[in-house]
Copies of this chain bind each other. A is one copy, B any other.
Amino acid sequence: MGLLGIDIGGTSIKAGIVSREGRILAKSRIPTAREAGVAGVLEGIKKLVEDLRERAGPGGESPAVAGVGVPGSVEAEQGLVRLAPNLGWQNVALREQLQELLKLPVTVDNDAHMAALGEMWQGAGREYGDLLMITLGTGIGSALILGGAVHRGAFGYGAEMGHVKVLPDGPPCRCGGRGCLETLASATAMVRMAERELAAGCPSLLSGRRPLEARDIVEGAARGDEVSRKVLNTAARYLGTALANAALVAGPAVIIIGGGVAQAGDIVLEPVRRAFAEALGAWQVKAVPVVAAQLGNDAGFIGAAYAAQNLLGG
């Protein structure tokens, strides 16, 4: 019996059929037809699932349940997408509509939660039931998993590490706050910081690179570029401190860093680990590993498939 996992992103929808043992039986992706609204996304999912069923082939297992991750705040119990700015959605009863479309029981959750479940099941979190995952991208996604389940907290939407305040009176955030981690350590924040250095006339390998991307900064740092290193270390310092603060409150057994930037490995992770250890100081009586995510873009649909298992009887 297969599990259908779907990861709706702002630019593409990824989906896969996953076995109950966590093996990917088939996977596929299509661009997100955002401009066509909810109907356009549903249409896309329909095609994607047909494609997947074909790819899984005659020997492939037909999925019995589906999980869906959405980039936004989700009322998981109601299957309701409260707000997904990157899709332009507000109050979409996604579970209901998808159950109708797919003729399957469906569970819906935030995409960062799904990715964390995926890493726990098949990736960097395999040995752990308590983990904190951070995804560095345009913004910062996060999920706290305790005892193998997403910890939703009083607000119901789980950890929002991107909006913890790490610098009093720091830069303004799109959420309306100031000094949010997202404004200081996301991929976007790194690019902004680098552009400021370049505009100030600092000599750098990055000069003239347009559009400048976070991966250029990582590459620059690897090649010894001073501006790149400064930007990476500054972002890492804020991130490491925020992670240490989270560890002093919620005590995850492992911290997983996802997103394109983190895939570069130690050049990004080492300064984060240093800042984390420094901020914890004497309080770090046991090692809490800070590691890179392992599943890349597959984490979201694998985790969604994992979440869908709860819909199976027995």
A247 proximity list for chain B (CB < 8 A): 153-155
Contact B168 A251 (CB under 8 A): no
The 3 closest A-B pairs by CB, nearest first: A153-B251, A164-B245, A154-B253
Question: Is A175 an interface residue when CB atoms closer than 8 A count as contact?
Answer: yes
A155 proximity list for chain B (CB < 8 A): 247, 251, 283-286, 288
CB of A98, distance to nearest CB on chain B (Å): 24
Contact A281 B176 (CB under 8 A): yes
**Residue positions of A touching B, CB distance < 8 A:** 73, 130, 132, 144, 146, 151-161, 163-168, 175-177, 241-242, 244-253, 279, 281-286, 288
Given A245-B164, A286-B155, A286-B156, A175:B281 Cβ within 8 A: yes
CB of A177, distance to nearest CB on chain B (Å): 5
CB of A238, distance to nearest CB on chain B (Å): 8
Can you name 19 extra interface pairs (CB under 8 A) apart from A155-B283, A166-B168? Answer: A73-B285, A144-B249, A144-B250, A146-B146, A146-B151, A153-B249, A154-B252, A154-B288, A155-B251, A156-B286, A163-B281, A164-B244, A164-B249, A175-B281, A175-B283, A177-B279, A177-B281, A249-B249, A250-B250
CB of A10, distance to nearest CB on chain B (Å): 20
Contacts A/B (CB < 8 Å), 27 sampled: A132-B249, A153-B247, A153-B250, A153-B251, A154-B252, A154-B253, A154-B286, A155-B284, A155-B285, A156-B285, A157-B285, A158-B251, A159-B248, A163-B281, A163-B283, A164-B245, A164-B249, A165-B245, A166-B168, A168-B241, A175-B282, A176-B281, A177-B279, A242-B245, A245-B245, A245-B249, A249-B249
Q: How far is the CA of A176 from the CA of B281 in the complex (A)?
A: 7
Q: Which residue in chain B gives the minimum CB-CB distance to A289?
A: B154
Q: How far is the CA of A161 from the CA of B283 in the complex (A)?
A: 11
Q: How far is the CA of A301 from the CA of B248 in the complex (A)?
A: 25
A286 proximity list for chain B (CB < 8 A): 154-156
Q: Which residue in chain B gives the minimum CB-CB distance to A288?
A: B154
